[in-house]
Amino acid sequence: MFISYRIIDANLNRAAEGLRVVEDIARFYFNSEEFSRKLKFFRHHLRKKMLDLNPKLIFLRDSKNDIGLTVSRQTRLDDKKTV
C-alpha cells in the first residue's frame, strides 16, 4: 500500500501541473477566457478531491529516501552549470 500512495501522490501532482500547462495554453495562446476558466476549475477540483488522501500522501511521501534524489545528484542534470 505504501508504494501505491507514493505513486498516487506523484501522479496527482503531475496531473494538476499538466492541467496548469494546458490552462496557460488556453490563456496565453488561444486567449480563451472560457477554456481557461474551465481548466482552472477542473485543476482546483482535482486538488480539493486530493484533500481526503492528502495527509496519508504527505506522510508516506518519504522524499529523503526517494531514489529520484540520488539519480538527480548522480546525473547532475539539475545543476545550473550543466544547463
Give residue 35's domain range: 2-82
Q: According to the model, what pLDDT value does residue 65 have? A: 78
pLDDT at 2 over 70: no
pLDDT reported for residue 19: 97
How far apart CA 49 and CA 52 sit, in angstroms, is 6
Task: Name the E strands within the chain.
Answer: none
* Residue that the C-alpha cell 481548466 belongs to: 39
How many structural domains comprise the chain?
A: 1
The residue assigned the cell 498516487 is 8
pTM score of the predicted model: 0.71
Residue 76: the pLDDT is: 75
Of 36, 62, 57, nearest in space to 47 by CA: 57
Contacts for 71 with CB less than 8 Å, ≥ 6 apart: none
Distance between CA atoms of 10 and 35, rounded to whole angstroms?
A: 26
Average pLDDT over residues 50-73: 76
